[in-house]
């Protein structure tokens, strides 16, 4: 099935276009944002992708996030280091280009000689959610 975002004449107003997702083969409307339409074609595609995603992976991701959260509690020296770096960056003590990112997470893990099965990007995401990074 091929999908397409198109302008909806019935949902659009003179000052604002609204878009819906249709089946390009049949013309059937698949998603109209609960009858309001999306403000842009890009948002229509994003909304439809979110609604039709594989939800079975959501549970796996949540389990992984809980595991990382537990791992962070066990590695207090790591979380304290990242939190201190984040604070120094936020208050402007470091350079303008410095930021807490996956590369910094990887470097801190290496410097503290901590090995983990988790990707630096996964750790960064959980730390952001928990408020360790400013």
The ranges assigned to domains in the chain are 3-51, 56-130
Rg (CA), the chain: 22
Per-residue pLDDT, 27: 94
Within 8 A by CB and 6+ apart from 134, the residues are 86, 87, 89, 90
Average pLDDT on 78-102 reads 91
Average pLDDT on 79-101 reads 90
Per-residue pLDDT, 54: 86
State whether residue 16 is helix, strand or coil.
strand
Within 8 A by CB and 6+ apart from 62, the residues are none
Q: pTM for this structure?
A: 0.64
Q: Between 19 and 92, whose confidence is greater?
A: 19
Where are the strands (E) in 1-87, listed by range? 3-7, 19-23, 29-31
Instruction: Provide the pLDDT confidence category of residue 95 given band limits of 50, 70 and 90.
Output: confident
């Amino acid at each position: 099935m091929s999908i397409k975002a198109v302008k909806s004449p019935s949902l659009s107003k003179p000052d604002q276009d609204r878009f819906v997702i249709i089946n390009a083969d049949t013309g059937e409307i698949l998603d109209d944002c609960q009858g309001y339409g999306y403000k842009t074609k890009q948002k229509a595609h994003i909304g439809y992708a979110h609604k039709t995603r594989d939800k079975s992976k959501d549970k796996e991701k949540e389990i992984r996030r809980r595991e990382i959260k537990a791992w962070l509690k066990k590695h207090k020296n790591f979380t304290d280091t990242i939190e201190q770096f984040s604070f120094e960056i936020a208050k402007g003590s470091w350079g303008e280009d410095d930021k807490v990112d996956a590369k910094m997470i990887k470097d801190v893990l290496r410097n503290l000689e901590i090995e983990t099965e988790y990707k630096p990007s996964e750790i960064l995401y959980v730390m952001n959610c928990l408020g360790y990074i400013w």
